[in-house]
């Protein structure tokens, strides 16, 4: 059946159903219920019609359903474009096309739609399991496509599956060449749909009590870091993120303006490393305190926040440099310092009261800070992932009532006390720590490691980092969050490290995921340039790339063609015949080729006629060959004798 107009068989409908269901299945979790119901109904209808061999519905009815579904999508999603609406529309159209699939041409169209649907799955998820599942889908779709093109006897479906496997496996080399060398254009070509990154987790530009502890429930990776030299001590691993200046009594938020950049005074060696940041749909890029350079397409603010020019919607990789010992902000702008003292009137009165009394006790800043920290350490403050809810004056309630909180509570309370005592203070959010993966020798920083700390400004010393959480729970900083919180707290599974083999397992898994990210998902134009540079192809223009690409593709196609031709030749399995053919081949090179219709005895006579010197050897070989192939001789000695004589024979 290879005429495009030819109707397809019921079993092909079943194969199409199988492959399309496989591809569409992952979308089920994201589609609206009515879409699923509609498509299921359409598919069930088609399956019934195919099974009962009934006529398919009229095109007008289908157009009506299509219009209705489009309207439904618009009502549900307020648009018919974008990822979710687009996928919903595509799935509905697939179901409708399925219902009117009569001929090979329709089926082929469905197959192509199926391939396209595979790629829509990657909009949501590009992990290794998805990759393999989609490979399986591609295999089934390809097998279905093959099954459509038999004309007479159609073997069992597993034969098609195997053939599809062979076809795809043979395509891998060319795929690799294309993947590595196809001139990459940095995306996007046009605007991304708004909803593409809904639901990605990460730090935000505000901090309220409970916002960070919610984040610690996620074991999603925030970024991975590969250090060029040795890993710094764990308590230096403060990954700087949003810096918050403004406080409304409950919520800290990031300043909307920036003061000019004060240059840091650095001491000691810089730490160099490479960060691979997961997309989080915000502009922050994370670096160790304090960053010493700015990655491309980004800038740094006066409070050392690194901002990307665009929200980070794709995994980005950047080289970084940080100074662990540096003083900065000694000559801080006075407007900034004033801003760092602002407190909203009428909120948290008891905290301000406490601050004022502390100021009276301690004239100098440092003893005051010491006193506050001592209070946190000594007065039964408790570090927990599940802090009690707080009311209108959260700092007051925390300090004097609940005394149980997560880092944001301690940081917020500390900053409020500092400002109340007249010391400029700001909140820095980010991540603290990280999980060393010894398989890939890189550090994984997860959302669960989100942290908040405080920077206070001291005269002549500039901004100084104070982490009140480390006072309450030294383990948080020294050993990580899983050691710091009670075992009953709901930490994500991946963050817990209690079971050694499990930890190793998840680390090796993360290593694979990271390699996948680095080489498959994160194969960017820069990476391509770097790779080509490392094999000696510098400043690869797209012309150069295309030339190399075509050359390698040509080599691969030639190899595949040669392989195909080899398969077309008949293999000689019989060792007797094989030996004799070798003998004939040796003579052929001397211009005495055997006609395929010439018998061995005649051939030997002819050869002996023109080359009397070869007579003994030719006669012996021919006698052995005839005895083995046409006579009753079955001995292995005779065969070995023949093979030996053929080997030694030279014309």
Partner 1 sequence: MSRTIESVVAQVGSIILGKEHQIRLAIACLLARGHLLIEDIPGVGKTTLAHALATSLGMGFQRIQFTSDLLPADIIGVSIYNRDTGDFQFHAGPIFSQVVLADEVNRATPKAQSALLEAMEEHQVTTEGETRHLPEPFFVIATQNPSYQVGTFPLPESQLDRFLMRIHLGYPDSEAERALLQGENRRDLLAALKPAMRPQELAALQHRAQQVHSSSALLDYVQAIADHTRRTADYVNGLSPRAALALLHAARAWALMAERDHVVPEDVQAVLPAVVGHRLVRAGDVTKADGVDIADHLIKQVAIP
Partner 2 sequence: MYGVLKNRLYTWLFQPRGRDRGAIVLVQRRVFILPTRQGLLFALVLLLMLTGSINYTLGLGFVLTFLLGALGVNAMIHTWRNLANLRVTGGRAQPVFAGDAAQFTVHLENGGDTDRYAIGLTRNRNNATFADVPARATVAAGIGIPAPRRGILRPGRLTLFTRFPLGLYYAWAYLELDIQCLVYPRPAFPGLPLPPALASAGAGAERGRGQEDFSGMRQYHVGDSLRHIAWKAAARDQGLLTKLFSGQSETELWLDWTQLPAQMGVEERLSHLARWVLDAHAAGLSFGLRLPGETVDLAGGAAQRERCLEVLALFESGK
In the Cβ-directed half-sphere of 320, how many Cα atoms lie within 13 Å?
28
Task: Look at residues 418, 414, 385 and name the one whose alpha carbon lies nearest to residue 398.
Answer: 414
Q: Is 119 in the site for partner 2 (CB under 8 A)?
A: yes
Nearest to 409, CA basis, from 476, 337, 483, 333? 476
Compute the distance between CA of residue 218 and CA of residue 446 in angstroms, rounded to an integer: 8
Q: Is 45 in the site for partner 2 (CB under 8 A)?
A: no
Helix, strand or coil for residue 197?
Answer: helix
d(Cα 538, Cα 546) in Å, to the nearest integer?
14
Stretch that binds partner 2, among 20-28, 323-331, 560-568, 577-585 (CB under 8 A): 560-568
**Cβ atoms of 298 and 306 closer than 8 Å:** yes
Taking CB under 8 A as the rule, does residue 82 contact partner 2? Answer: no
| 561 vs 470: CA distance, rounded Å | 67
For the bound state, the minimum distance from the C-beta of residue 81 to partner 2, rounded and expressed in Å, comes to: 13
Q: Give, as ranges, the residues between 355 and 414 that touch partner 1 (CB under 8 A).
A: none
When asked if residue 37 is in the footprint of partner 2 (CB under 8 A), the reply is no
Query: Of 71 and 563, which CB lies nearer to partner 2 in the complex structure?
Result: 563
Q: Segment near partner 1 (CB under 8 A), from 357-365, 399-407, 471-479, 628-636?
A: 628-636
**DSSP state, 342?**
-
Strands 404-405 and 382-383: parallel
The stretch near partner 2 (CB under 8 A) out of 161-169, 203-211, 379-387, 411-419 is: 161-169
Indicate the residue among 490 and 599 with the shorter CB distance to partner 1: 599
Interface with partner 2 includes 118 (CB under 8 A)? yes
Which of 214/629 has CB closer to partner 1?
Answer: 629
Closest separation in Å from C-beta 175 to partner 1? 41
Radius of gyration of the chain (CA): 36
**Count of residues near partner 1 by CB under 8 A:** 14
- Do 416 and 252 meet the contact criterion of CB atoms below 8 Å apart? no
Residue placing its CB nearer to partner 2 in the complex, 229 or 559? 559
Q: Does 597 bind partner 1 (CB under 8 A)?
A: yes
How far is C-alpha 576 from the chain's CA centre? 56
Using the Cα atoms of residue 633, residue 639, residue 641 and residue 642 in order, give the sign of their dihedral.
Answer: positive
Kindly report whether the peptide bond that precedes residue 290 is cis, defined as omega within 30 degrees of 0: yes
Q: Is 588 in the site for partner 1 (CB under 8 A)?
A: no
553 binds partner 2 (CB under 8 A): yes
The interface partner of residue 601, options being partner 2, partner 1, none and the CB cut-off 5 to 8 Å by kind, is partner 1
Least distance from C-beta 119 to partner 2, angstroms? Answer: 5
Among 21, 261, 314, 479, binds partner 2 (CB under 8 A): 314
105 binds partner 2 (CB under 8 A): yes
Binding segment for partner 2 (CB under 8 A), chosen from 183-191, 299-307, 358-366, 490-498, is: 183-191
Residue 480: closest CA among 488, 491, 468 = 491
Which residues are CB-neighbours of 12 under 8 A, at least 6 positions away?
107, 144, 147, 148
635 binding partner 1? (CB under 8 A): no
Look at residue 630 and give the partner it binds from partner 2, partner 1, none, a contact being a CB closer than 5 to 8 Å depending on partner kind: partner 1
C-alpha to C-alpha distance for 564 and 561, rounded to whole angstroms: 5
How many C-alpha atoms does 458 have within 13 Å on its Cβ side? 13
Nearest alpha-carbon partner for 578 in 531, 536, 623, 629: 629
CB of 191: closest distance to partner 2 in angstroms?
A: 9
Is residue 571 near partner 2 by the rule CB under 8 A?
yes
Q: Regarding beta strands 462-466 and 252-254, do their DSSP bridges make them parallel or antiparallel, or are they unpaired? A: unpaired
631 binding partner (options partner 1, partner 2, none; Cβ < 5 to 8 Å by kind): partner 1
Closest distance of CB 178 from partner 2, Å: 4
208 lines the binding site for partner 2 (CB under 8 A) = no
Alpha carbons 304 and 263: distance in angstroms, whole number: 10
Contact status, residue 381 vs residue 438, Cβ threshold 8 Å:
no
Q: In terms of C-beta density within 10 A (0-12 exposed, 13-18 middle, 19 or more buried), how is residue 552 classed?
A: middle
The verdict on 185 binding partner 2 (CB under 8 A) reads yes
CB 324 within 8 A of CB 289: yes
Stretch that binds partner 1, among 69-77, 149-157, 165-173, 592-600 (CB under 8 A): 592-600
Q: Which does 134 bind (CB under 5 to 8 A by kind): partner 1, partner 2, none?
A: partner 2
| 569 φ/ψ angles, rounded to the nearest 5 degrees | -80, 150
Three-class DSSP labels, 354-366: HHHHHHHHCCCHH
Among 5, 127, 29, 123, CA closest to 520: 127
**Nearest approach, Cβ of residue 645 and partner 1 (Å):** 19
| Cβ atoms of 287 and 270 closer than 8 Å | no
Q: Binds 504, which of partner 1, partner 2, none (CB < 5 to 8 A, cut-off by type)?
A: none
Q: Judged by CB under 8 A, which of 29, 190, 493, 501 binds partner 2?
A: 190
Annotate 14-27 with b (16+ C-beta within 10 A) or e (fewer): ebbbebbebbbebb
The rounded distance, in Å, linking the Cα atoms of 332 and 258 is 12
Catalytic residues: 407, 451, 467
CA distances from 71 to 24, 27, 42, 90 (A): 21, 20, 17, 14
Q: Which stretch binds partner 1 (CB under 8 A): 20-28, 158-166, 209-217, 590-598?
A: 590-598
Task: Name which of 62 and 592 has its Cβ closer to partner 1.
Answer: 592
Q: Contact region for partner 1 (CB under 8 A) — 239-247, 251-259, 544-552, 622-630? A: 622-630
- Contact (CB, 8 A) for 560 and 170: yes
Where helices occur in 25-155 by DSSP H, the ranges are 33-52, 59-77, 83-99, 104-121, 128-147
Binding residue for partner 1 (CB under 8 A) from 561, 564, 630, 640? 630
The Cα 212–Cα 249 span in angstroms is: 17
Q: CB under 5 to 8 A by kind: which of partner 2, partner 1, none does 520 bind?
A: partner 2
Q: Could you tell me the smallest distance in angstroms from the CB atom of residue 599 to partner 1?
A: 4
Binding of residue 543 to partner 1 (CB under 8 A): no
Verify binding: residue 199, partner 1, rule CB under 8 A: no
Smallest distance, partner 2 to C-beta of residue 130, A = 8
- Please state the closest distance from residue 294 (CB atom) to partner 2, in A: 22
- 60 near partner 2, rule: CB under 8 A: no
**Contact with partner 2 (CB under 8 A): which of 21, 103, 170, 261?**
170
Residue from 187, 188, 486, 631 binding partner 1 (CB under 8 A)? 631
- 515 scored as a contact of partner 2 (CB under 8 A): no
Q: Which residues bind partner 1 (CB under 8 A)?
A: 577, 596-602, 626-627, 629-632
Residues that bind partner 2 (CB under 8 A): 1-4, 104-105, 108-109, 112, 115-116, 118-119, 122-123, 126, 130-131, 134, 138, 142, 145-146, 148-153, 163, 167-168, 170-175, 178-179, 182, 184-190, 192, 196, 314, 520-524, 553, 557, 560-561, 564-565, 567-571
């Amino acid at each position: 059946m290879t005429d495009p107009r030819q109707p397809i068989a019921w079993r092909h409908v079943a194969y199409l159903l199988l492959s399309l269901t496989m591809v569409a299945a992952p979308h089920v979790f994201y589609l609206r219920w009515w879409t699923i119901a509609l498509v299921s109904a359409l598919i069930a209808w088609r399956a019934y019609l195919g099974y009962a061999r009934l006529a398919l519905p009229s095109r007008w009815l289908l157009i009506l359903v299509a219009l209705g579904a489009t309207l439904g999508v618009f009502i549900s999603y307020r648009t018919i474009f974008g990822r979710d609406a687009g996928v919903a529309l595509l799935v509905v159209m697939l179901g409708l096309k399925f219902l009117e699939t009569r001929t090979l041409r329709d089926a082929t169209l469905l197959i192509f739609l199926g391939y396209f649907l595979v790629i829509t799955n990657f909009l949501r998820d590009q992990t290794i399991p998805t990759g393999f599942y989609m490979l399986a889908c591609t295999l089934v779709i390809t097998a279905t496509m093959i099954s459509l093109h038999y004309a007479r006897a159609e073997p069992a479906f597993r034969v098609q599956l195997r053939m599809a496997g062979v076809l795809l496996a043979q395509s891998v080399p060319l795929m690799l060449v294309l993947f590595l060398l196809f001139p990459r254009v940095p995306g996007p070509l046009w605007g991304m749909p708004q909803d593409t990154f809904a639901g990605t987790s990460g730090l935000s530009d505000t901090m309220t009590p409970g916002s960070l502890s919610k984040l610690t429930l996620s074991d999603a990776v925030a970024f991975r870091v590969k250090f060029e030299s040795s890993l710094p001590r764990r308590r230096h691993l403060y990954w700087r993120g949003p810096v918050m200046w403004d406080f409304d009594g409950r919520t800290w938020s990031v300043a909307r303006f920036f003061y000019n950049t004060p240059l840091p005074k650095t001491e000691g060696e810089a730490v160099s490393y490479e960060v691979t940041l997961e997309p989080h749909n915000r502009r922050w890029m994370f670096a160790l305190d304090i960053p010493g350079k700015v990655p491309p397409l980004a800038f740094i603010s006066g409070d050392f926040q690194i901002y990307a020019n665009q929200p980070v919607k794709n995994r980005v990789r950047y080289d970084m440099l940080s100074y662990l010992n540096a003083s900065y902000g000694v000559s801080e702008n006075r407007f900034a310092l004033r801003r760092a003292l602002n407190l909203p009137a009428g909120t948290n009165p008891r905290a301000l009261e406490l601050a004022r009394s502390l100021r009276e006790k301690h004239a100098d800043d440092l003893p005051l800070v010491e006193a506050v920290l001592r209070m946190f350490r000594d007065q039964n403050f408790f570090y927990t992932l599940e802090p009690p809810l707080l009311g209108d004056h959260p700092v007051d309630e925390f300090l004097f009532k609940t005394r149980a909180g997560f880092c944001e509570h301690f940081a917020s309370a500390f900053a409020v006390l500092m400002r109340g005592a007249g010391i400029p203070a700001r909140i820095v959010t980010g991540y603290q720590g990280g999980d060393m993966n010894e398989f890939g020798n890189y550090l994984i920083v997860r959302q669960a490691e989100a942290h908040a700390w405080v920077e206070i400004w001291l005269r002549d010393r500039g901004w100084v980092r104070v982490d009140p959480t480390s006072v309450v729970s030294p383990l948080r900083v020294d050993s990580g969050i899983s050691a710091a919180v009670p075992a009953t707290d709901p930490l994500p599974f991946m963050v817990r490290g209690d079971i050694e083999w499990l930890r190793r397992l998840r680390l090796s898994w993360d290593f694979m995921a990271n390699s996948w990210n680095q080489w498959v998902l994160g194969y960017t134009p820069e990476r391509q340039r770097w790779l080509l540079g490392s094999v000696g192809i510098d400043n690869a223009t797209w012309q150069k790339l295309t030339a190399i690409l075509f050359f390698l593709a040509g080599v691969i196609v030639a190899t595949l063609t040669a392989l195909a031709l080899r398969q077309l030749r008949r293999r000689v399995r019989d060792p007797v015949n094989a030996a004799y053919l070798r003998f004939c081949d040796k003579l052929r090179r001397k211009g005495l080729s055997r006609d395929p219709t010439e018998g061995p005895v005649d051939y030997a006579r002819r050869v002996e006629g023109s080359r009397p010197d070869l007579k003994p050897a030719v006669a012996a070989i021919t006698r052995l060959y005839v005895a083995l192939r046409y006579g009753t001789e079955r001995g292995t000695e005779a065969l070995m004798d023949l093979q030996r004589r053929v080997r030694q024979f030279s014309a």
